[in-house]
C-alpha cells in the first residue's frame, strides 16, 4: 500500500468516524483498547494496553487518528492500561466466539466466492446461535452478534455467570460446540447392569442420554431414521439400513425386525435393542450429526480470556467494510456485502489503479473491474485498496 | 454450638456459631485449650492420612474450634503442598459425612441445605421425586467439574443452560466446592502473638511430617549424651525462662529418651504451671510428639549448627550413649 493510498484511506476512515456514532461495549473503562494504525510497509503494529481514559473521547480519537483497525478486550481489568496481563488484574471476560469463513471445513477459499464463503459462515452462525440458546440457555439479550467486517462473525455472550469462567471452562465450551472429545456413542450413554431377560449372566445395558447435549441430537436423528424406516417396505428398509457402514445384510435385518417389533425401545434410547448393530448404527449417526451440526468456531478466540476483538461500528482496515452489530432477528436476512458497506463511501466515484482484472460483489451487484486506472464507486475502490488489490490513482 | 456445626465447620452456620461464641483464639492458645491439641491432630492426620476424623470422641465445642485453629496452623506450617492436602482432607471427610447424614431416615440435613450453605444451591435444580437426577447450571458445572474425560462437557446432557448429573456426581461437585472453600484464603497472615504461641505446635507438626529418622526406642536418660544445644536447654531450665520452642525441644527430647511427664518436670527442675502443663500435653499424649530435627533447631536459633553431620539430636544422643547398643530401631 503506497503513501497516497494510505493517506486516502486514513482520511476517508476519519470522515466515516466523523459521521458515525459508535456504541461502546458495557464497562468500556475496564477494558483494554488497541488499534493498528496505518503504517508504511507490509507489517502491522498493534498499539495496545490502552485504557479508554488515555484515548480520551473515543469518537474524537477515531476521527483524529483514523486507525486501520480498532479493538477492545473481551476481558475487564482493575488496571486495563497495565503493560502485562498479571498487572492488569483480571476481573472476568465476555465469552466470545469467532466464526471465520476461511477456516470452515465446508469452504474452499481457493474456489469459493467471497459471497458464498460468507453465506456458509452465516449458516454456521445460525447453528452457533441455536446451540447458545437451546443448549446453553442464554437469553437473547445476553447475545451480541457482529459481522466482523471481513470474513466472518463474532458472538459476544455477556452474563454475570460467564464472566468468571477460566480458560479451561471456555475450552470445554469450545470442545462442546466442536463436538470434540466424544470417543463414540457409548460416551453418550448411561450404563446399567441388568440380569434376566433370557440372559445367563448380567450384562451392561446402554441407554442413550436424551435430556440434552450431543446424546439428544443423536437420539433425535435415530428416531427420525426409525420413523422413515417404518414407512418403507421390508426390502427398501433393509437396503437403507444396509447403506450404513458396518451394517451388513444380517445387521440390516436385525435392525429392521427390532424397529418393527420394539420401536418404543428406540424412542427410549435403548442402544442394545438390536445388539451390536444398534451401537454401530448410532455411532454412524453420531459421526454424521457431528459433521453436520458442530460449529467450527476458532477455538483460541473463545479460550483466550484476554482477547482483543474488533469494535462494532469501526471499519475493518482489510476490507473497508463496517464491523456491524446485528439484531438477532436480522441475522438470517443480513447480507454483509450490502449492509456492511459504509454509507459515507457509497455515493462518490474515485479513480484507482487496479492490479488485475477482478469481479467484486458489493452493494448487491457484481462489478467487473478491469486492470489499470479505472474510476469506480468509492466503496469498491476502498474495498480493493484495503484488500491490497489496488492503489489510489490521481483523480 | 450444635453437633452439626462441628461436623461442617466450614459452613456459614458454623462460622456464625463461632463468631457468636466470641472466642479469642489467642486466649485459647494461652490456656492450652483442648481445641489446640485437636487442631494439631486435625492438621497432622489431614496431611498424613487424608482425613480429619479423630479416633476419639471429641466434644462439640473442641471439635468446632479446632477448625479455625487448624486454619491458623496450616497457615504457619512450612510443608510443601500442605494447604492443598489439608483442604482435600477436610473435603473428603465432609463428603463422607454428607453421604452418611443425608441418607439417614430423619433427613436432619439435606443436600439442598448443604448446597445452599455452600453458596451453590441457586445453581442446582432439585428433583421433586427421588429420581436421583439433578440439574446444575452449566457455568457452575464448568467451575466445579474435575478434569476427567467422563466429566467433559461434550459428553454431558446439556439443555437450557443446565447439565444433568446423578446424585453421586452432585456429591462429588459438593466435595470439590468444600475443598475450594477450605483452600480459599489460605495461607493468611497470623498475628505474631498467635504465631509465637503456636510455634511448638507448628514445630511438632513439621517434625512429624519432616521424615527425618531418629531412634524410636531409647529408654535411657544420660544428660551428657545430648548434643550441646539440648544439654544447654537442660542446664538453663531450672533457672531461666525458656521460650515456647525451647521448651518444646527440651520436653520432646526428654520424652523420646524414656522419661515420663513427672520425670521430665523433676529432671528439668521446673514446676511452674505452664511447664508442667506443656509436659503433660507433649509427653503424656498417646500420640508421641517427635523432637525437632537439627535443621529446625537451627532455624529456631536454638542450635548453632555444630553437630558432626547428624540430622537429628536423638541420633547424636544414641551414638553418644555409654552403651550405644540400646538404640535399637529407627522411625521415619
Q: Are residues A51 and A173 located together in one domain of the fold?
A: yes
A165 vs B142: CB contact, 8 Å cut-off?
yes
Minimum Cα–Cα distance from A290: chain B residue:
B154
* pLDDT reported for residue B94: 94
Q: Which of A57, A98, A272, A329 is catalytic?
A: A98
Q: What is the DSSP letter of B45?
A: H
Contacting residues of B for A169, CB less than 8 Å apart: 139, 142-143
Q: Are residues A126 and A194 located together in one domain of the fold?
A: no
CATH, residue A330: 3.90.920.10
CA–CA min distance B152, chain A (Å) = 7
Start-to-end Cα distance in chain B: 39
Q: Are residues A168 and A194 located together in one domain of the fold?
A: no
Optimal mutation site among B124, B133, B139, interface A, most CBs of chain A within 10 A: B139
A324 contact partners, CB below 8 Å, separation of at least 6: A146, A147, A149, A312, A313, A334, A336, A339, A340
Q: Which H, E and C letters describe A143-161, residue by residue?
A: EEEEECCCCEEEEEECCCC
* pLDDT reported for residue B275: 85
* A296-to-B75, B214, B303 alpha-carbon distances in Å: 47, 62, 66
The answer, for B27 touching chain A at a CB cutoff of 8 Å, is no
CA–CA min distance A132, chain B (Å) = 9
User: Quick one: which of B199, B187, B213, B194 has its CA closest to B299?
Assistant: B199
CA–CA min distance B77, chain A (Å) = 28
Calculate mean pLDDT across residues B234-256: 88
The answer, for B284 touching chain A at a CB cutoff of 8 Å, is no
Q: Are residues A167 and A222 located together in one domain of the fold?
A: no
A136 vs B153: CB contact, 8 Å cut-off?
no
CA–CA min distance A168, chain B (Å) = 8
Q: How far apart are CA B162 and CA B169, in angstroms?
A: 14
| ipTM confidence | 0.92
B157 vs A176: CB contact, 8 Å cut-off?
no
* pLDDT reported for residue A10: 96
Minimum Cα–Cα distance from A174: chain B residue:
B154
| For residue B264, cis peptide bond before it (omega within 30 degrees of 0) | no
Q: Is the pLDDT of residue B331 over 50?
A: no
Q: What is the DSSP letter of A359?
A: E
Start-to-end Cα distance in chain A: 17
* pLDDT reported for residue B114: 92
Q: Are residues A110 and A253 located together in one domain of the fold?
A: no
B142 vs A169: CB contact, 8 Å cut-off?
yes
**CA angle (B21, B23, B28) in 5-degree steps:** 140
φ/ψ of residue A51, rounded to 5: -105, 160
> Does residue A33 contact residue A72 with C-beta atoms inside 8 Å?
yes
Q: Are residues A84 and A147 located together in one domain of the fold?
A: yes
Contacting residues of B for A179, CB less than 8 Å apart: 154
Nearest CB partner across the interface for A216, out of B150, B157, B162: B157
Q: Are residues A78 and A156 located together in one domain of the fold?
A: yes
**CA angle (A208, A214, A216) in 5-degree steps:** 50
Instruction: Say whether A100 is catalytic.
Output: yes
* pLDDT reported for residue B261: 87
Nearest CB partner across the interface for A179, out of B137, B154, B156: B154
Instruction: Say whether A304 is catalytic.
Output: no
Q: Are residues A62 and A166 located together in one domain of the fold?
A: yes
Q: Is the pLDDT of residue B248 over 70?
A: yes
CA–CA min distance A69, chain B (Å) = 33
Q: Is the pLDDT of residue B234 over 60?
A: yes
By residue range, what is the domain housing residue A309?
Answer: 3-177+297-338
> Does residue B134 contact residue B164 with C-beta atoms inside 8 Å?
yes
Contacting residues of A for B162, CB less than 8 Å apart: 137, 212
Q: How far apart are CA A140 and CA A133, in angstroms?
A: 7
Contacting residues of B for A188, CB less than 8 Å apart: 155
Minimum Cα–Cα distance from B145: chain A residue:
A169
* B91-to-B42, B87, B102, B179 alpha-carbon distances in Å: 13, 6, 16, 5
* pLDDT reported for residue B330: 42
* Tens-level pLDDT at each residue, chain A (395 residues): 899 999 999 999 999 999 999 989 999 999 999 999 998 877 778 888 888 888 888 999 999 999 999 999 999 999 999 999 899 999 999 999 999 998 888 888 888 888 899 999 999 999 999 999 999 999 999 999 999 999 999 999 999 999 999 999 999 999 999 999 999 999 999 887 776 555 556 677 889 988 899 999 999 999 999 999 999 999 999 999 999 999 998 999 999 999 999 999 999 999 999 989 999 999 999 999 999 999 999 999 999 999 999 999 999 999 999 999 999 999 999 999 999 999 999 889 999 999 999 999 998 899 999 999 999 999 999 999 999 999 999 98
The burial class, CB within 10 Å (0-12 / 13-18 / 19+), for A141 is exposed
Domains of chain A: total: 3
CA–CA min distance A296, chain B (Å) = 14
The tens digit of pLDDT for each residue in B38-80 reads 999 899 888 877 888 877 788 889 999 999 999 999 999 877 7
The tens digit of pLDDT for each residue in A216-265 reads 999 999 999 999 999 999 999 999 999 999 999 899 999 999 999 999 99
Q: Is the pLDDT of residue B1 over 90?
A: no
**Which of the pair, B217 or A332, is modelled with greater confidence?**
A332
The tens digit of pLDDT for each residue in B120-158 reads 999 999 887 666 789 999 999 999 999 999 999 999 999
**Which of the pair, B12 or A307, is modelled with greater confidence?**
A307
Q: Are residues A285 and A310 located together in one domain of the fold?
A: no
What is the band of B325 on the pLDDT scale with cuts at 50, 70, 90?
Answer: low
* pLDDT reported for residue A4: 94
Residues of chain A that touch chain B, judged by Cβ-Cβ distance less than 8 Å? 134-138, 161-162, 164-165, 168-169, 172-173, 175-176, 179-183, 187-188, 209-216
Q: How far apart are CA B167 and CA A175, in angstroms?
A: 25
Q: Are residues A252 and A311 located together in one domain of the fold?
A: no
Cell of A91: 476481573
Q: What share of chain B is helix, strand, coil (3-state, %, to 5)?
A: 60, 5, 35
CATH, residue A377: 3.40.5
Nearest CB partner across the interface for B154, out of A137, A138, A181: A181
Contacting residues of A for B127, CB less than 8 Å apart: none
Q: Are residues A243 and A264 located together in one domain of the fold?
A: yes
A265, A269, A272, A277: CA torsion to nearest 10: 100
User: Quick one: which of A339, A341, A322, A336 has its CA closest to A379?
Assistant: A341
Contacting residues of B for A215, CB less than 8 Å apart: 155, 157
A212 vs B149: CB contact, 8 Å cut-off?
no
Beta bridge partners of B240: none
Nearest CB partner across the interface for A213, out of B139, B143, B156: B156
A176 vs B143: CB contact, 8 Å cut-off?
no
The answer, for B139 touching chain A at a CB cutoff of 8 Å, is yes
Q: Are residues A327 and A226 located together in one domain of the fold?
A: no
> Does residue B218 contact residue B258 with C-beta atoms inside 8 Å?
yes
* Domains of chain B, earliest start first: 3-183 (1.20.930), 211-331 (no CATH)
**CA angle (A11, A320, A391) in 5-degree steps:** 70
Q: How far apart are CA B111 and CA B103, in angstroms?
A: 10
What is the band of B288 on the pLDDT scale with cuts at 50, 70, 90?
Answer: low
Instruction: Say whether A298 is catalytic.
Output: yes
* pLDDT reported for residue B204: 84
Amino acid at each position: 500500500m503506497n503513501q497516497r493510498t494510505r493517506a486516502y484511506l486514513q482520511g476517508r476512515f476519519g470522515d466515516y468516524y466523523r459521521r458515525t456514532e459508535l456504541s461502546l461495549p458495557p464497562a468500556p473503562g475496564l477494558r483494554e483498547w488497541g488499534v493498528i494504525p496505518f503504517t508504511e510497509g507490509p507489517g502491522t503494529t498493534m498499539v495496545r494496553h490502552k485504557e479508554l481514559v488515555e484515548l480520551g473521547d473515543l469518537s474524537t480519537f477515531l476521527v483524529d487518528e483514523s486507525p486501520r483497525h480498532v479493538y477492545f478486550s473481551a476481558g475487564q481489568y482493575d488496571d486495563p492500561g497495565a503493560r502485562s496481563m498479571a498487572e492488569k488484574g483480571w476481573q472476568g471476560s465476555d465469552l466470545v466466539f469467532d466464526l471465520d469463513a476461511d477456516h470452515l471445513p465446508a469452504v474452499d477459499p481457493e474456489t469459493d466466492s467471497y459471497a458464498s464463503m460468507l453465506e456458509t459462515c452465516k449458516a454456521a452462525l445460525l447453528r452457533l446461535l441455536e446451540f447458545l440458546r437451546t443448549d446453553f440457555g442464554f437469553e437473547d439479550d445476553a447475545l451480541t452478534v457482529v459481522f466482523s467486517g471481513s470474513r466472518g462473525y463474532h458472538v459476544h455472550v455477556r452474563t454475570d455467570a460467564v464472566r468468571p469462567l477460566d480458560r479451561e471452562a471456555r475450552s470445554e465450551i469450545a470442545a462442546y460446540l466442536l463436538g470434540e472429545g466424544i470417543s463414540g456413542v457409548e460416551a453418550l450413554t448411561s450404563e446399567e447392569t441388568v440380569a434376566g431377560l433370557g440372559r445367563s449372566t448380567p450384562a451392561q445395558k446402554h441407554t442413550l442420554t436424551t435430556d440434552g447435549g450431543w446424546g439428544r441430537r443423536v437420539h433425535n436423528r435415530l428416531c427420525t431414521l426409525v420413523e422413515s424406516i417404518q414407512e418403507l417396505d421390508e426390502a427398501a428398509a433393509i437396503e437403507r439400513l444396509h447403506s450404513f457402514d458396518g451394517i451388513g445384510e444380517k445387521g440390516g435385518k436385525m435392525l429392521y425386525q427390532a424397529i418393527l417389533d420394539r420401536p418404543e425401545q428406540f424412542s427410549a434410547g435403548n442402544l442394545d435393542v438390536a445388539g451390536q448393530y444398534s451401537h454401530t448404527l448410532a455411532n454412524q449417526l453420531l459421526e454424521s450429526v457431528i459433521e453436520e451440526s458442530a460449529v467450527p468456531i476458532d477455538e483460541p478466540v473463545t479460550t483466550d480470556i484476554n482477547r482483543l476483538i474488533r469494535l462494532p461500528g469501526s471499519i475493518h482496515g482489510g476490507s473497508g467494510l463496517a464491523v456491524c452489530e446485528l439484531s438477532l432477528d436480522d441475522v438470517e436476512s443480513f447480507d454483509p456485502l450490502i449492509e456492511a458497506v459504509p454509507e459515507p463511501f457509497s455515493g462518490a466515484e474515485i479513480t484507482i489503479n487496479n492490479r488485475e482484472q477482478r469481479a467484486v460483489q458489493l452493494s448487491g451487484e457484481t462489478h467487473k473491474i478491469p486492470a489499470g486506472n479505472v474510476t469506480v464507486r468509492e466503496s469498491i475502490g476502498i474495498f480493493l485498496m484495503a484488500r491490497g488489490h489496488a492503489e489510489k490513482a490521481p483523480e | 454450638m450444635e453437633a452439626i456445626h462441628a461436623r461442617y465447620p466450614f459452613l456459614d452456620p458454623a462460622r456464625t456459631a463461632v463468631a457468636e461464641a466470641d472466642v479469642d483464639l489467642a486466649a485459647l492458645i494461652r490456656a492450652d485449650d483442648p481445641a489446640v491439641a485437636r487442631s494439631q491432630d486435625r492438621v497432622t492426620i489431614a496431611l498424613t492420612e487424608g482425613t480429619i476424623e479423630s479416633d476419639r470422641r471429641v466434644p462439640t465445642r473442641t471439635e468446632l474450634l479446632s477448625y479455625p485453629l487448624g486454619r491458623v496452623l496450616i497457615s504457619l506450617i512450612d510443608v510443601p503442598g500442605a494447604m492443598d492436602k489439608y483442604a482435600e482432607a477436610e473435603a473428603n471427610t465432609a463428603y463422607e459425612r454428607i453421604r452418611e447424614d443425608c441418607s439417614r431416615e430423619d433427613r436432619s440435613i439435606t443436600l439442598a441445605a448443604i448446597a445452599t450453605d455452600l453458596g451453590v444451591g441457586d445453581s442446582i435444580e432439585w428433583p421433586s421425586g427421588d429420581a436421583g437426577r439433578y440439574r446444575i447450571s452449566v457455568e457452575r458445572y464448568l467451575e466445579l467439574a474435575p478434569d476427567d474425560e467422563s466429566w467433559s462437557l461434550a459428553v454431558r446432557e446439556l439443555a437450557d443452560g443446565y447439565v444433568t448429573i446423578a446424585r453421586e456426581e452432585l456429591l462429588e461437585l459438593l466435595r470439590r466446592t468444600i475443598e475450594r472453600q477450605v483452600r480459599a484464603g489460605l495461607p493468611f497472615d497470623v498475628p505474631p502473638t498467635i504465631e509465637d504461641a503456636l510455634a511448638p505446635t507448628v514445630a511438632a507438626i513439621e517434625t512429624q511430617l519432616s521424615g527425618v529418622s531418629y531412634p524410636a526406642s531409647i529408654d535411657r536418660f544420660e544428660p551428657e549424651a545430648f548434643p550441646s544445644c539440648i544439654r544447654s536447654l537442660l542446664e538453663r531450665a531450672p533457672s531461666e525462662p525458656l521460650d515456647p520452642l525451647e521448651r518444646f525441644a527440651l520436653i520432646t527430647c526428654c520424652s523420646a529418651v524414656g522419661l515420663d511427664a513427672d520425670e521430665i518436670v523433676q529432671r528439668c527442675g521446673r514446676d511452674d504451671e505452664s511447664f508442667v502443663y506443656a509436659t503433660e500435653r507433649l509427653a503424656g499424649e498417646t500420640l508421641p510428639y517427635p523432637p525437632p530435627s537439627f535443621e529446625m533447631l537451627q532455624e529456631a536459633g536454638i542450635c548453632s549448627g555444630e553437630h558432626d553431620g547428624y540430622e537429628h539430636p536423638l541420633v547424636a544422643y544414641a551414638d553418644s550413649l555409654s552403651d550405644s547398643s540400646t538404640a535399637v530401631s529407627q522411625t521415619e
